[in-house]
A and B are shown apart, each in its own frame.
Chain A
Amino acid sequence: MAAVTYPNPKVVNFINGTMIPIQVRFDAQPIATDYNVKWTPTIITLDSDGKEHHRTVGFLSPEELIPSLLLGIAKVSFDSDLFDSALTNLNRLLSEYPESNASSETIYLRGVCLYKKTHDAKPLKEAYERLNARNPKDEWTKRAYPYRLL
């Protein structure tokens, strides 16, 4: 991450402009125990109370880190029922990084977000159909499978 991803200019601009970044050693205490860190790199998105909302373990390229962080930011909003804010970041992710590894979960969460915002089940079914059209074997397609009946 330090050699390839973090020096990337797009990554630098995204992180400095969008988040408060903190970097600590994997064995720093008590923080490593508090967040149950067992391997590096571990990247966690927190809210301003220190509560965890999203985690990745393992190397991420610049093209994968930014969408992963956008998903984490969206989850911070989603977990606080701030659906419009969550949707802004989910839509940005799908628009700018449609082929990223985070995009399937993003399609799923976007459908859930729209459902919780409108109480209309149609976005859940649309999320399944979109996921299934992309990759029927994807983990998130399978998780959305029951929504095909809505």
Chain B
Amino acid sequence: MASSQSMERSGGLQFPSLKTVLAVITGVMMLVDLYFIFMVAPTDAVLGHVQRVFYFHVPIAIMSFLAFFVVFIASLMYLFKRSPKWDAFAHASAEVGVIFVTLALITGIIWARPIWNTWWTWEPRLTTTLILWLIYVAYLMVRSYAPTQSKGAIYAAVVGIIGFVDVPIVYYSVVWWRSIHPSPVVGPFAKSDSLDGTMALILLYSFITFVFFFAYMVMERMELRTTEEALGRIRFALRRRGE
């Protein structure tokens, strides 16, 4: 992932950019994570090997919550300050969040088939997660279909703030309603003995790995947006000269 373009020159020496460092750290951490998941984590006595999906499914779902929390904060900041940087941050985080929530749904569906004997059931956790996915897909669509970029940013910020209401609903859904989905293993409603010690440590390591992965993806997406804006400016300059 490191390239000569991503190296910052300083006094004749080349220092890798923050993004390159993050990419390398994430790659190494992910390899170690896979080793832990497949070689160190004990096999669940009841669920079998498929339980290892848990070490990806849970951190991915939590990363989607983190992404939408970032969207919420960045959208608020954008509405107050009207700085395009906050809008770019919210946009990048929302897109990455949609990727994570899509993955949480898909890995959940695949895990459900051998355990619940069905791919999908309209139980509260799955239903509220699907609603969360729809809200943030709508966020991206609102941005795309708005008449101008600034209006799109404002509409999207409103959706990003209101849409965040669904995140705590998704988390508490297994507490508020009787559900086939297991109880939370992290957060305020997690039981202290809900996980074996080794499993809990590997889950924690997976979380940290995905936080790095999330940061890297957001940086990549923000860089792309900067390039898109630069292209927009150059096209505008060309049109003005052509007039």
User: Do A and B come from the same complex?
Assistant: no
Chain B residues in contact with chain A, CB under 8 A?
Answer: none
A residues whose Cβ falls under 8 Å from a Cβ of B:
none
